[in-house]
Amino acid sequence: MRWLNLHLYIGLVGGALFVLTSLTGSLLVFNKTIDEWMNPEQLVRTAGTDLPLNQIVAAAQAAHPDWPVPDSLIFPLHEQDSF
């Protein structure tokens, strides 16, 4: 009987860890969509103002010179979205 209780509680703790991992992973996958939903006022890009990537990276470096060089860009998903 002791082994069954031990097995039960180890399984419950392990299951709770899997649920926590799954939820935080889902938040990471939908991070950009959740951010757009919670902060719509930050979507200020207007259609027709497309710039070359080197100008976008240069503008980011000029805005934050103490940050490291960007190693990846997330492309816009819709017209109001930004890099």
DSSP per residue, 11-49: HHHHHHHHHHHHHHHHHHHTHHHHHHHH-GGG----TT-
> Residue type for 13, please?
V
Tokens of 67: 């940050």
- Tell if the pTM clears 0.75, that is, is over it: no
> Residue type for 49, please?
T
User: What's the pLDDT at 52?
Assistant: 83
Q: Give per-residue pLDDT as tens, 35-72.
A: 888 887 777 666 566 778 888 888 888 988 898 887 87
User: What's the pLDDT at 73?
Assistant: 77
